Amino acid sequence: MSDERILGTTKVTDRWRISLIKAVREEFAEQGEDVDEGDLVVFKKRDGDIVVEPA
């Protein structure tokens, strides 16, 4: 059983976070997940790791 808690969410934008979001989008694309501008992503702490997932 994993120890998981939500740290927060953010909306995908095209502002200063674009370099982080671009890298995350590329990872999501490799996994078959489509994340577009305006979508929400959630940050979770799971078993000591920070995880980013589509909300």
Query: Following DSSP, what letter does each residue of 1-46 receive, concatenated?
Result: ---EEEEEEEE--SSTTHHHHHHHHHHHHHTT----TT-EEEEEEE
How high is the pLDDT of residue 8?
86
Q: Is the confidence at residue 36, as pLDDT, over 90?
A: no
Q: State mean pLDDT over 18-37.
A: 80
Q: How confident is the model at residue 1 (pLDDT cuts 50, 70, 90)?
A: low
Q: Which pTM was predicted?
A: 0.67
Average pLDDT, the chain: 82
